[in-house]
Amino acid sequence: MRLYLKSHIAKKGETLEQIAEQYQIPDIELLKYFHYQHVPKDSNHLGNTLFAGQEIFIPDENDIRTILEKRNLNSEENNIKNHNQIENGNLLPDFQSIDHTYIVEIRDIFENRTDHVQFEILLQYLDKHDSNYIFKFKKENLLLNGENPELKVYNLALKCASVFSYVEVGINKNGLLSYVHNYKEIYNKWKTLKEDLYNLYEDALSLRYIDEINTVIEDRDTLTSYLRKEIFLQFYFSVYFKRYAEGKSENAAHFLFDEILHENVYEIDINDKLIAIKQESQSIDKRSLHEIFGNIKRSEEQYGESELPESTITAKYHLDKSQKILQNAEIKVESLDYHTKEFKEIQIRLKH
């Protein structure tokens, strides 16, 4: 039993920081913790301002060592508990904190040609409606091979895309885009813009493009399917809404523009600050390429209709441990379509 406690009598204008420094106490939280262990409950509070003559109990070296050991033990136990919850639970981000801009780079490598596309994605969580999470989504600042495209068709595409100044999308419990929340607003904007575009453009290529966009926007389900193919949304939400057991989750889902069915394996590794998730996916689609991509013309004599798709996806994702927000991702896709091998490299990184 302690018969004597060291104490300090505060001087006018003295601060807790100064007292902690004087007695070589690591931080004021430790000083306050020790003090409150030895005063009656709800008395002798240590506020931002100390009053002259206030008695403050001071820990000695043994006290400091004991408190630090207990603090480290508690921290380790909390880490183990948090890790266990992540590795054996449904991984979800802190939705309220999602208001970010991401830079997305996509390299398509086809035979001897490489196409590089870069753009920014603005993503903000809005609310939960029924069982869907509503996000505001916008794509902007597109670069093709490092430059601003000057093609006529690109300028037309920009005009058409103006109706998507912001799209509000609903993400369901499986992490899939389920509907367009502000469809009426988009549709009404398009009705006005469409008439202006038909008056502005007369060439066949432009008119065909306008017709194609019109087909997409005129029907809510068609627009939903169109947006569901957005690469960023597919991979951003792919690690969430999954039940992990012992740091592992397996499922079957469509990737590559929602066409090919893949068997997906996700594995979690956690350090002090980050959650690292590794994804490995292999196509398991039993449909032939002709069934999947029936709109693509090819020589039936050269390729049989029974030919199955070949596709593999490997990816690494890094999430911050506190809010579980995606910080960066590297995704590699290798596919073989009609005996032609293609590679796609996707990088996603948090801008702010």
- The string of pLDDT tens digits covering residues 314-326 is 999 999 998 999 9
Contact (Cβ atoms closer than 8 angstroms) between residue 309 and residue 335: yes
Alpha-helical segments (H) within the chain = 16-22, 28-36, 61-87, 152-161, 183-200, 204-218, 220-228, 231-236, 289-292
- Segment 87-100, tens digit of pLDDT: 999 999 999 999 99
Q: Give residue 2's pLDDT.
A: 60
If one counts the domains in the chain, the total is: 2
Which residue among 56, 87, 118 closes a domain?
A: 87
Q: Give residue 78's pLDDT.
A: 75
- Segment 209-234, tens digit of pLDDT: 999 999 999 999 999 999 998 999 99
Residue 181 lies in a domain: yes
Pairwise CA distance, residues 255 & 170, whole Å = 18
Q: Give residue 292's pLDDT.
A: 58
Residue 68 lies in a domain: yes
Question: In the predicted model, what is the mean pLDDT of the chain?
Answer: 87
Q: Give residue 301's pLDDT.
A: 41
Tell me: do 249 and 336 sit in the same domain.
Answer: yes
Residue 216 lies in a domain: yes
- For range 248-266, the mean pLDDT: 85
* CATH code (residue 128): 2.30.230
Residue 2 lies in a domain: no
Q: Residue 242: which domain range? A: 90-350
- For range 132-141, the mean pLDDT: 94
Tell me: do 110 and 72 sit in the same domain.
Answer: no
- Segment 262-292, tens digit of pLDDT: 999 999 999 888 999 999 999 887 766 556 5
Q: Give residue 255's pLDDT.
A: 79
Tokens at residue 115, please? 């196409």
Please report where in the chains the tokens 């060439």 appear, as a residue: 203
Q: Give residue 43's pLDDT.
A: 76
Tell me: do 261 and 324 sit in the same domain.
Answer: yes
Tell me: do 159 and 185 sit in the same domain.
Answer: yes
Contact (Cβ atoms closer than 8 angstroms) between residue 29 and residue 18: no
Which residue among 58, 87, 116 closes a domain?
A: 87
- For range 12-41, the mean pLDDT: 92
Residue 184 lies in a domain: yes
Residue 1 lies in a domain: no
- Would the pLDDT of 309 be above 80? no
Tell me: do 53 and 179 sit in the same domain.
Answer: no
Tell me: do 162 and 70 sit in the same domain.
Answer: no
Which residue among 49, 70, 87 closes a domain?
A: 87
Tell me: do 49 and 34 sit in the same domain.
Answer: yes
